Structure 1
Amino acid sequence: MSTSSAINTSSILVLGATGKTGRRVTGILGPAARPASRSAATTFDWSDSDTWEPAVAGTTAVYVVPPDNPLLLADFVRVAVKAGVTRLVLLSMRGAPDDDPFEAAVKDSGAEWTILRPTWFMQNFDEDLFAAPVQHGELAVPAGQGIHPFIDVADIAEVAVAALTQPGHHGQTYDLSGPEALSFPEMLARIVAVTGNPVLYSDVEPDEFAASLRGLGYPDEIADLVTMLLVRVRTGEEAYLSDGVKRVLGREPRTFADYLGSSKFA
């Protein structure tokens, strides 16, 4: 591990600052953060490169929630490093290949880098993809009875902040998961136990699920990716636990019960 000194925490750019991980990273950093998004005081838009240089000016580290296009990420990284950024922490995903172009853009930047590869987020059940179906009483996904160690995004945020502000994380790829692998029926049963509102679980065919995402406005590539990841849960490829949270934070990750206690279900 690198023994380089800690980053000056007065100038950390947080991309995707209104998102699930970004707003929590911002919250932990407090005044040290420069939150950036299309709607933040610091404007940042992946589709408008004119916003990039003003956003990174004077910063030394960046929490990167990447765009859909790795070429855009590579272009941004060059702008950031030229402006004086010396540390990059990238939110990647479990199962990303070692030659992943998004990760390569950060690794080849010349700056210190850390890669975070988390599992599915627990907060998907109350803040994102699964929230509306759960609220309406039926969740249909192509995951069968497969189990997966969903992670609380609060843990991702704490790991990200450690990598952004502390020495010793350069060149590290952290696989992050929760402490237990659960099936969708098990997780829904725990949600129902908290809320008292029944939720029906349906295992649907992948093509049907992908079509439903497209109907909600998801681009084809995102619909196909999300479907593929859920099929990996169904086939058992996603059941294993990862130790990245404990390696970085020195404690076990939050459980699904912990999440429920702090979620919109509580």
Structure 2
Amino acid sequence: MNENILVIGGEGKNGRRVVEKFRNIGFSVFSTTRTKEEVKTGLVFFDWNDGSTYEPAVSNIDKVYIVHPDTSVPDAYEQINLLMSCMEKKGVSKAVLLSGRGQESVRKCEGILINSPLKWTIIRSAWFNQNFSEGHFLHGIQSGSVTFMAGSAKEPFVDLDDLSDAVVECLLHEKYNGKIYEVTGDELFTFEEAVKTIGNRLGRDIKYHFLNKKEYSDLLKNIGLPHFVAEHMAVAFDEILDGRNENTGSGIQEILGRSPKKFKEFVKLNAFN
């Protein structure tokens, strides 16, 4: 329990759950902030777009959970490569990387860990249940209309409580070193089916609207995203929503020795407000 653990992205949906779980079991855990003025006990300054912040952030740290905003963007490789070099220099012993499923564009980033002298674990995660309750699709759930570019392909949505439990286990225990896990739920739903399940639970008619890649990219631009960001997001989503991930992984069972939380259980436990 005298190990210092850093969670990069520790204020996000996934990261904050990992931080909370470590604190609950008595570990010294730090989260990152991109705002210097917010630095306080338990927070360190770190900005993916400023390489000079990497080394100070990992000083006196033993293990790191890496959550990059998007490991499929071209800059991610250089950023994670520099981060791992800083970690090696400062004596960090282990890294766990949150990665994507079915994305060839993220494999270069995974390779940085695989070829590193540090101990490592890679977790390839499915879409989160919580994208519907506190993330990407919540506004649509609340307004009665969810718009996205997922068609008929099914997704094994994973609950963030399961994912964060798996991350904590992988950081704590050596038996997970050098392994890649597919962390998913054990059921498959289309996004439209997921939205309908939530609507039924709330007693509301929530519509799902499918847009193709160009239509969704245009939508993102119209709501203010920069052209290159909108284009990249549409291409990345098109890659992972083509049916290649229409299967379940066994990561939760292998790491935690239990079945993943059911999507309908997640829906039952949330008010979506």
**Partner Cα distance (1:99, 1:22) in 2:** 19
1:116–1:175 CA contact under 8 A, matched in 2: yes
Match of 1:241 in 2: 248
- CA gap 1:212/1:160 in 2 versus in 1, 3 angstroms: same
1:73 aligns with 2:80: yes
The correspondence of residues 89-128 of structure 1 with structure 2, limited to 5 A, is: 89-97=96-104, 100-128=107-135
Identify which range, 105-114 or 49-58, moves more after superposition: 49-58
TM-superposition CA deviations, 1:149-199 (whole Å, max 9, x none): 111122111111111011111110101111100112221121112222321
- Residue segments in structure 1 that go unaligned for 5+ positions in a row: 1-7
* Cα separation, 2, equivalents of 1:65 and 1:234: 21
- Residue 5 of structure 1 aligns with which residue? none
Aligned to 2:57: 55
Q: Following TM superposition, by how much is the alpha carbon of 1:111 offset from its aligned partner in structure 2, in angstroms?
A: 0.1
Higher relative contact order structure (alpha carbons within 8 Å, sequence separation ≥ 6): 1
Amino acid at match of 2:104: P
1:169 partnered with 2:176: yes
**Paired position in structure 1 for 2:214:** 207
Check conservation: 1:194, 1:265, Cα contact below 8 A.
Answer: no
- Whole-Å separation in 2 of the counterparts to 1:9 and 1:63: 17
SS of alignment partner, residue 13 of structure 2 = coil
CA shift for structure 1 position 210: 1.6
Deviations 1:24-58 (A, max 9, x none): 11011014311112245311111222322222111
Identify the match of residue 203 of structure 2 among 196, 201, 218: 196
Structure 1 equivalent of residue 29 of structure 2: 33
Alpha-carbon distance between aligned partners in 2 of 1:222 and 1:28, rounded to the nearest angstrom: 33
Provide the rounded CA distance (Å) in 1 between the counterparts of 2:106 and 2:203.
Answer: 45
* SS of residue paired to 1:51: helix
2:224 & 2:270 partners in 1: Cα distance?
A: 26
Q: Which letter does structure 2 place at the counterpart of 1:113?
A: W
Provide the TM-score with structure 1 as the length reference: 0.88
Q: Do the aligned partners of 2:102 and 2:244 also contact (CA within 8 Å) in 1?
A: no
Question: Cα offset for 1:128?
Answer: 1.8
Percent identity between matched residues is: 30
- Whole-Å Cα distance in 2 between the matches of residues 233 and 87 of structure 1? 28
SS of the aligned residue for 1:145 comes to coil
Q: Secondary structure at the match of 1:45?
A: coil
Task: Give SS of 2:133's match.
Answer: helix
Matched residue count: 259
